[in-house]
Amino acid sequence: MKSLILATSLTLVFAGTAAANGTVSSSTISNGINSISTQAQQTLDTCLSTESSSRAIRACTKSIRAATPNDDVRAQLYTRRALHRMALGRHDDAAKDFSRAGQLSEDSGLESLGLGFAAMMNNDLTTARRNFEDCNNQGNIAPLAEYGLGLTYQMAGETDDARHAYGRALALRPGWTAVSEQIATLELK
């Protein structure tokens, strides 16, 4: 149950941060789909929803097939599908989608970030840290990389390192509630 709650909250934080930073933009994706019909628009809307389900994964797959040759749009659709898969506990499939997104995009930071969260959910903390460190200097996703790094340290019981990583995340994105709440959990121990 704890793993499910962590997966769900990570996915929401990841998706929310990606959307807020323009990393995964619904309008950009919509503009990249050929000849949007009503049914195709409904499929795309299901893919872009924050509610993860097998239906959302299938909708993303259909949207990927309908996407123009625009690699950036396809990368964003793979990222969205990866987020749904991660929320449903399909971490290995999510990692594959993040890799596909990274191969299509010039920005490898998002791929590293996604692979880091997928590895963390599979309790491969070494791989997760390496991936988070690969993208923690990459602009908009740097705060999320620091947050992920903090989570891996916390999972390993390394509270001082976790506190430092969370502090860096807050310095990059002041007032971030999720990070403040994680710091509070360190203080309880």
Q: How far apart are CA 44 and CA 174, in angstroms?
A: 33
pLDDT of residue 2: 42
Ramachandran quadrant class, 49 (left: phi over 0; alpha: psi -120 to 50; beta: rest): beta
Q: How far apart are CA 128 and CA 108, in angstroms?
A: 15
The most confident of 22-26, 140-144, 150-154, by mean pLDDT: 150-154
Go through the domains of the chain in sequence order and give each one's CATH number. Answer: 2-188 (1.25.40.10)
Query: Is the sign of the CA dihedral 38, 44, 48, 51 positive or negative?
Result: positive
Largest CA distance in the chain: 55
pLDDT of residue 5: 43
pLDDT band at 68 (very low <50, low <70, confident <90, very high): low
pLDDT of residue 110: 78
Round the average pLDDT of the chain to a whole number and report it: 79
pLDDT of residue 189: 55
pLDDT tens per residue, range 71-80: 888 888 888 8
pLDDT of residue 174: 92
Contacts of the segment 106-111: beta carbons below 8 A, 24+ positions apart: 107/138, 108/134, 108/135, 109/134, 109/135, 109/138, 109/139, 109/141, 109/145, 110/18, 110/23, 110/75, 110/79, 110/135, 110/141
Torsion, Cα 70 71 72 74, to 10 degrees, reads 90
Burial zone of 5 (CB within 10 Å; 0-12 exposed, 13-18 middle, 19+ buried) = exposed
pLDDT tens per residue, range 20-57: 444 455 555 555 544 456 777 888 888 888 888 899 98
Cβ atoms within 10 Å of 66's Cβ, excluding its own:
17
Mean pLDDT of 124-144: 86
Q: How far apart are CA 51 and CA 58, in angstroms?
A: 13
pLDDT at 140 exceeding the cut of 80:
no
